Structure 1
Amino acid sequence: MYIYRKILIPLLSVFFILFVTSCATAPPKVIEPTIENIYLLPQAPLIRQNIYHEVAPGETLWRLSKMYDISIEEIMRANNLPSSTLEKGQSLIIPNAAPLRPIISLYPSNKWRYIIIHHSATDIGSSYSIDGLHKERGFERGVGYHFIIDNGTRGKGDGQIEATPRWIKQQDGAHCKAGGMNHKGIGICLVGDISKEDVSERQMDSLVHLTRELKRYYKIPLSNIIGHGQVYGASTECPGTRFPWYEFKRKLSAE
């Protein structure tokens, strides 16, 4: 195993982890990486502190340990956990946690040919809250996007990237029925109403870096990175009338 570390830009912390998966059985299980390709981008000085964390859909103790640079055993001990099983929405104390480092896993696949950008059209949100809303709408598997980029509400950081169970389990999305994009498009949702407010700087930074890595790894052409409303047959202004397409595409092209 070889681990490559490099700093891409300051003020943003994202782990991109590449690993090989085996065939899934029903019901699909959360798959953890076995080969790490890690990029650490410091967002702040390394100040450790005790924090509370709300477990998002698909999160495991392994992921939390990597996100906060703390051992699984220490998390279990601090919370008196009888087993490694976590429940979404569960509140955990993370002792002596390092600044958050979201984990993005890349799975070998030839199905992903598009990246579809969305907004939540809500003022607040997170993977956990959107999961609840989508279940109320009849989505049995919950949150329909593959990634959520938070806006600093619901206890999440501004620009924090959350990988949902649909990505971790490599499932079809439930974010854009038009054009068959649920089957071939990676759905990324920005929390916020981008028809009323601008994308935050941190959200845009995270969106550019996440999209660029997905584009590179899955060899997705720039022309196939589009908004929900740009998909043929879709009738929506998503990801919002104020989404800065020129800036976004310009930054994506500046590789």
Structure 2
Amino acid sequence: MERIYPRFIVIHHTAGFDSSALTIDGYHRARGFGVEVSSPAGLVKEYVKRGFKKTQAGVMVSIGYHYLIRAAGDVEKGRPDFVRGAHCTALGMNFKSIGIALTGNFDSVDNPDGRKGHKAPTSAQISSLRALLAHLIKIYQIPESCILRHKDVKGAATRCPGDRFWLGPGNYGILT
């Protein structure tokens, strides 16, 4: 398995209801996004204990994001940070970024009335996002200018994370 060293962070919405990382893992498995993680042993054991699919050599992790932030602000681990993502193919971001998704559908065109998940990020999600970003910036020395919304990645044909996600480049309030 090729390991990545993240130089960017890409922010998404899940475009759906508040679901767990394990539930999204099932959706992404059906789309063929799985990657087998065989080491370190303690990490494999942790993922199996959380309910991810055990394999002969380790564990299959299919959720494309590295982190998921639920409506109540809980942060759930998706893929390990060192594993390539399955969240943004534009500019090869899957191989050089950490993907963070907030549950909900923040697009006013796709979700005008909230029938496809909560319409805007909750204050708890924004608070958790800021804390997670500060943590990742410190660990990986990622400049705040390298935190992008999915739709801001050149070549990404998407509206993700929607027009109701108001935070954009330089507006995360991490370094202030």
- Scaled by the length of structure 2, the TM-score of the pair is 0.73
Query: Which residue is 1:176 aligned to?
Result: 88
Letter aligned with residue 143 of structure 2: P
Which consecutive unaligned segments of at least 5 residues does structure 1 have?
Answer: 1-25, 29-108, 152-157
Q: Larger C-alpha radius of gyration, 1 or 2?
A: 1
2:74 aligned with 1:160: yes
Distance 2:172 2:125 in 1: 16
Query: Which residue is 2:11 aligned to?
Result: 117
| Aligned-residue identity in percent | 39
For residue 129 of structure 1, give the secondary structure of its aligned residue in structure 2: helix
> Do the aligned residues in 1 keep the contact of 2:150 with 2:160 (CA within 8 Å)?
yes
Residues 247, 133 of structure 1: alpha-carbon distance in 2 compared, 3 angstrom cutoff: same
Letter aligned with residue 111 of structure 1: Y
Q: Deviations over 1:112-152 (max 9, x none)?
A: 1000000000023110110010011111231010000011x
Residues 132, 245 of structure 1: alpha-carbon distance in 2 compared, 3 angstrom cutoff: same
Residues 247, 219 of structure 1: alpha-carbon distance in 2 compared, 3 angstrom cutoff: closer
> Do the aligned residues in 1 keep the contact of 2:69 with 2:103 (CA within 8 Å)?
yes
Query: Which residue is 1:136 aligned to?
Result: 30
Q: CA RMSD in A?
A: 2.2
- Scaled by the length of structure 1, the TM-score of the pair is 0.51
Distance 1:182 1:246 in 2: 20
Question: Shift in Å at residue 249 of structure 1?
Answer: 1.9
For residue 118 of structure 1, give the secondary structure of its aligned residue in structure 2: strand
Which consecutive unaligned segments of at least 5 residues does structure 2 have?
Answer: 36-61, 112-118
**Larger RCO: Structure 1 or Structure 2 (Cα < 8 Å, ≥ 6 residues apart)?**
2
Runs of 4+ in structure 1 off by over 4 angstroms are: none
Question: Shift in Å at residue 236 of structure 1?
Answer: 0.2
| 1:222-241 map, 5 Å | 222-241=144-163
> Do the aligned residues in 2 keep the contact of 1:208 with 1:248 (CA within 8 Å)?
no
Q: Given the alignment, which residue of 117, 124, 132 partners 1:202?
A: 124
Letter aligned with residue 94 of structure 2: N
Tell me how many residue pairs correspond in the alignment: 140
